[in-house]
Every structure is written in structure tokens, then in C-alpha cells.
Structure 1
Amino acid sequence: MSAAPLLPESIAPKMTVAEMRRRAAPVLRAHPRLTADGWHVGRAPYAGRGIDMEQVLTAVLFLRKFGRRTRNINDKYEANSYILKHAVENWTRASGDFVYVANGAFILAALMLGYDAPQRGDDRNCQLNIVVDSAIRHYAVSDLPLVQ
């Protein structure tokens, strides 16, 4: 079951990185296996980098613009966090202001907006309960022209 969104629709576009970090804290506490790379796999403690809140904010803006939640997890390939994080990057590239978005930053944004993004087995990526329509599909394709 999807959680209630932690980010009201009207606040996300105006949010500072500090405010994003504050609002992300309870989600990160609830999901201690979430890392910048996605879901942590293995037994050893994660020793990588932290999740960049500017990347999370970018993913939040993308999901606010294009995302729609569904009741159930969408098991189609295109509803995978890794594919969707590339859609966010392509969206920023198309706007002329490229932003790299880590898999974990995308997952955190989705969780903050009330999407389900469960870890399955030993996979860093996850499927979401998201409708992948033509608008998202447009940015998920890899042959968009690069804007430098």
C-alpha cells in the first residue's frame, strides 16, 4: 500500500536543499538499506557516497510533472527505477540543464511522494507503482539528442 506523500504538491518546486534533507530524513530512517546507488545488497555495511538532495529534488520535480501512482507495482521494464532515473536525466538534458540523478536519489524521491519502491532480492533497482505513459516514455528513450 502506498504511503501518503510527504511533500505537498505546492511546496516541492520552491524547496531548498536543506528543506529537502529535513523532509528526507524520516524516509531514510524508515529505509536504512537505501543508498545513493539504490537498494544496498550484501551483508557488509554500505561505505559509498550519500544521496545528493539536489538530485532528489530534480527527481521530485519530474515525478510531480509526469508521475501517477497506481495501486500495484508495475512489473514492466519501463517502470524500473534505473530506467526512470535515466528518464529524469534525459528530461533535464532536453531542457538544456543536465542533472545527473543517482538511482538511490530517484528511489528516495519516489518514496517521499508516496510511491512504493520495494527492494526485491539482491537488486539495487526496483519496480514502482507508477503509470508509465507516453510523456515518461519519451524521456526514457536513449536516443534523445544530447544538449551540451
Structure 2
Amino acid sequence: MNATYVPIAEAQMLIKKPVSEVFNAFIDPEITKNFWFTNASGSLEVGTTITWEWEMYKVKTDVFVFDIKPNQLIALTWGTPATYLDFEFEAVSEQTTYVQIKNYGFTEVGNELIEVIKNNTGGFTTVLDGLKAYLEHGINLNLIHDKFLKK
């Protein structure tokens, strides 16, 4: 066996909405603001660098969009050092979409790598929980806003 192990932080969720609506929720920052970040410098488009902001934590990050396949994939890099972030969309039926978020390309090793994967998996699970509540029920649960205690 000569396979190379690539550590991945991964989260997934079934969303009871059409794939085009779920896909657009990540492309259009006016929708994304209801379940993830507080501000974005623009919509996701191939070849662009966008800044995402979480005002309550005074945190910003630049994302570079390198691939979009409508209703299937959004692929970008983000953070410092940059890691890969893929959003994969699968139409299970006309009214349901399976979303997977995969984050990989980490530079950390050992316990630091375990901590990063644990934190990112939990964070992306929270994003998908918020997405589900917002798209299916029109409720902004403020999950990201309330995830960490602000001191």
C-alpha cells in the first residue's frame, strides 16, 4: 500500500432545499451572513480574493476562489498559512441537498494538527447547523456569534 494520508477536517449535513438554493447560500454573502460570517467584500467568483469578517471576534480572513462548478463545488484557499476549503453539493432529490465541507492542507503536526482538525470540524458543523436552520426554517440561530465567550 502506497497511499498518502491527507488530514482533513470534514463536516456534512442534509439540507431540505434544492441544490441551487443551498449552493447560492455560500456564493451570496447577503445570505451567508445569516449563518456564518458578519461581512464579506463580495460574492464568490473564480479568480477573486474576498475578505470574510467576523466582527464580534475582530477577525478577518482572505479567501481566494480557484474553482466553482455550479451546484456542485466551491473550492478556495483561506487563512494564514492558507489551507484548502472545498464545499461539495450533491442533489439527493429535487428538494434535498447533501453538503460536505472539507478543509485540508494543514502545516501543523502532532497534537497541534489534532487540535486544528478538531476545532475546524466543530466550526464547520456549526456552520452547517446554522445553514440548515436558516434555509429550512428561516431562523438565524446566531450560532457563530454565540460559539465563543467574548472576554
Give the TM bin, normalised by the shorter chain: under 0.3
TM-score, with normalisation over the residues of structure 2?
0.26
TM-score, with normalisation over the residues of structure 1?
0.26
Higher strand share: 2
Greater relative contact order (CA < 8 Å, ≥ 6 in sequence): 1
Q: Which structure has the greater CA radius of gyration?
A: 2
Higher helix share: 1
